[in-house]
Amino acid sequence: MIEIIPNMHPIYVKFSVALVFLSCILYGALQLSSRVQQREELVRIQPWLYGTAVLAVLLTLVTGIWAYFTVPHDGPSHVAMAVHRDWALYLSVVFITAVVLWLRLPQFAEERQRLARAVCHGLMLASFILLLLASWHGAELVYRYGLGVQSLPEVTGEGHDHHH
């Protein structure tokens, strides 16, 4: 399998996208949920989900930086790689900051908790938006520039333009 994939980044990125997405959705669900039993269940999984998401983000960053320096590319795709890298770094910093702030919420004085919660809300919303942007640009690297793809099939004969 290693011979097929030039880098482990595509494997880890799937986990990061899924876990950050779920973390943002869970955070939003907790803000909107009024059912006590439902809230208790969501709060119970929150630290596990956030911790796993942060770990996945860190692994994705390491393998992404490795890919940035090792995957063969040309000038135009290099620019696209830099854009993707930047959005992914913004996402990572904002999401990890949101999680750290969320972990520290109980330590804030009562009057500061309200402001800290508002900042946490904004950071989670920003994480969601940055996740969409970083994912878009990552997909563009593969589907527009063909990075990380060893070869595309050469269309001969009917190709896939035939009728089923």
109: part of which helix (H) or strand (E)? none
- SS3 for 6? coil
Cβ-based burial of 57 (10 A; exposed 0-12, middle 13-18, buried ≥19): buried
Give residue-wise pLDDT tens across range 112-125.
999 999 999 999 99
Helix axes 110-143, 9-32, angle to 10 degrees: 140
* Structure confidence at residue 8 (pLDDT): 86
Residue 100: pLDDT over 80: yes
CB 135 within 8 A of CB 90: no
Per-residue tokens: 25: 């959705």
What is d(CA 103, CA 12) in angstroms, rounded to the nearest whole number?
A: 24
Per-residue tokens: 38: 């439902």
CB 123 within 8 A of CB 97: yes
**What pTM does this model have?**
0.87
Domain ranges (residues) in the chain: 9-143
Other residues' Cβ atoms within 10 Å of the Cβ of residue 159: 9
Give residue-wise pLDDT tens across range 13-46.
999 999 999 999 999 988 888 787 778 888 899 9
The mean pLDDT value of the chain amounts to 88
